[in-house]
């Protein structure tokens, strides 16, 4: 087998990496992978045959009471249900506690599918065929269980506990995303409600503000001067979002040091309104 390698080649004192073809040793055939691929293909064929057989049997049984499209549409649910449970069990293969529920549910749904196939054979007058047909679904699930268990890497108890702890931390981080969004929406609604109740006359930066107001330290410099609220809005309209940068801008415009809490409250109100 040929492969390409880059080797140094010097011409006139200048060296470059140039590609050349060399003979590479052929790796031995991975028979384990070949056998596993073949077995997986066999399992897919068996599963397909099981779904076709169960759907045909249960659909014919239900078609005695309802129209055929509805009957066969409902019939395919019997096998798809336990197949879906088996897939979820595979996804939870590193967590025995989470895999237990889909495993039990898959067994129950498989038994229901087998019972329906057997019932069809008995109603048709061939209980032997119904019994053999029910065994097809059991063989399909059994084969897939063996294949999936073989592909699941063995882990010791400590490694499983470590993986579960890592997944728990990741799950906590994901869970906090909607929680933070909910808190931000609630805080925004509270701020908007307070602003609506207070009205436009509650500007904490007016010169006639009472000393009991928490923002009494922010006062107008002179009549007609730019207030903290006006300066914050000007900074916001200029795409200045960093609170410290806004505080420096407000101090420069108004000529005084504004209250950081007041600036942050105005920024939050503008963010909610925007």
Q: Where are the domains of the chain?
A: 32-153, 203-273
- Among residues 72, 78, 76, 63, which one has the least CA distance to residue 113? 78
- Confidence bin at 274 (pLDDT 50/70/90): low
Pairwise pLDDT comparison (88 vs 4), residue with the higher score: 88
- Global pTM value: 0.58
**Which pLDDT belongs to residue 118?**
94
Structure tokens at 150: 């073989």
**Which pLDDT belongs to residue 239?**
78
3-state SS of 31-77?
HHHHHHHHHHHHHHHHHHHHHHHHHHHHHHHHCCCCCHHHHHHHHHH
pLDDT digits (tens, 9 = 90+) for 60-116: 999 988 999 999 999 999 999 999 999 999 998 888 888 899 999 999 999 999 999
**Which pLDDT belongs to residue 111?**
95
In the 8-state DSSP scheme, what is residue 113?
H
Contact 247, 260 (CB under 8 A): yes
**Which pLDDT belongs to residue 59?**
93
Q: Among 185-199, 211-225, 257-271, where is mean pLDDT lowest? A: 211-225
pLDDT digits (tens, 9 = 90+) for 240-270: 888 888 888 888 888 778 888 888 888 888 8
């Amino acid at each position: 087998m040929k492969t390409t390698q880059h080797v140094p080649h010097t011409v006139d004192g200048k060296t470059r990496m140039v590609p050349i073809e060399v003979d590479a040793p052929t790796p031995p055939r991975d028979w384990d992978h070949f056998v596993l691929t073949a077995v997986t293909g066999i399992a897919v064929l068996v599963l397909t045959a099981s779904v076709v057989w169960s759907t045909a049997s249960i659909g014919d049984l239900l078609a005695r009471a309802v129209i055929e499209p509805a009957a066969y549409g409902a019939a395919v649910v019997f096998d798809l249900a336990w197949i879906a449970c088996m897939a979820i069990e595979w996804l939870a293969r590193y967590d025995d506690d989470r895999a237990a529920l889909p495993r039990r549910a898959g067994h129950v749904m498989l038994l229901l599918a087998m019972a329906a196939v057997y019932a069809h054979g008995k109603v048709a007058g061939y209980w032997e065929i119904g019994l053999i047909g029910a065994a097809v679904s059991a063989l399909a699930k059994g084969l897939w269980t063996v294949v999936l268990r073989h592909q699941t890497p063995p882990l010791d108890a400590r490694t499983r506990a470590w993986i579960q702890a890592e997944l728990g931390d990741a799950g906590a981080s994901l869970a906090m995303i909607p929680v933070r969004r909910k808190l931000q929406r609630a805080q925004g609604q509270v701020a908007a409600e307070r602003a609506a109740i207070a009205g436009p006359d509650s500007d904490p930066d007016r010169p006639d503000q009472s000393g009991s107001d928490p923002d009494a330290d922010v006062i107008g410099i002179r009549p007609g001067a730019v207030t903290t609220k006006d300066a914050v809005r000007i900074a916001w309209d200029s795409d200045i979002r960093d609170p410290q940068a806004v505080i420096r801008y407000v101090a420069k415009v108004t000529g005084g040091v504004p209250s950081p809490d007041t600036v942050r409250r105005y920024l939050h109100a503008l963010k909610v309104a925007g």
